[in-house]
Amino acid sequence: MMKRIAVVLSFCLLTMSAFAIDSEKAFDDPALQARYDKLVAEVRCVTCQNQNIKDSNAFIASDLRREIRRMIGEGKSNEEIKDFLVTRYGDFVLYRPRFEGKTLVLWIAPFLLVLFGGIAMVRVVRHRMAMPLDGESNGNGGAQ
């Protein structure tokens, strides 16, 4: 049994190589290459929306990689490159949308939810603690 599992797992490892779509080095300069790697990992492939353009072999992904390579080569800043993409494809194209008016709800909603959840929890717990103990047992099945 263990052997069979090991065989299956090793086949899973084999498929990993299929994810290396963009394996060629884009720049000789390691600093530029690092910027490029970071950017392509943060840009969503617009036709295959749950992939970034680094991992997608869709032609639009390779075109966007080429554009990013070109802009880095032209000395454009990361902000300018993100502007280029957002102008054409909207905030959705960035996996980490920028913090601004339109994306404000997106950024603060999780914190607000945790805050409201926390307040609700504190209130419920306080309420329960104030209840007499024998009232608890016929409530929902007793001790937990």
Kindly list the residues in this chain that would bind other proteins in the complex (CB under 8 A).
46-47, 49, 59-60, 63-64, 67, 86-90, 92, 120
Q: List Cβ neighbours of 16 (8 Å cut-off, separation of 6 or more).
A: none
CB of 80 to other proteins, least distance (A): 15
- Rounded-to-integer distance, Cα 80 and Cα 77, Å: 5
When the beta carbons of 59 and 111 are compared against other proteins, the nearer one is: 59
- Between 50 and 138, whose beta carbon lies closer to other proteins? 50
The minimum distance between CB 60 and other proteins, in angstroms, equals 6
64 near 71, Cβ under 8 Å?
no
Give 21 or 86: the residue with its C-beta nearer to other proteins. Answer: 86
Give the dihedral sign, CA 42/47/50/53. negative
CB of 93 to other proteins, least distance (A): 9
User: In the complex with other proteins, which residue's Cβ is closer, 46 or 72?
Assistant: 46
Q: Compute φ and ψ for 99, nearest 5 degrees.
A: -80, 105
Instruction: Tell me if 73 sits within 8 A of 85, measured CB to CB.
Output: no
Q: How far is the CB of 90 from other proteins (least distance, A)?
A: 5
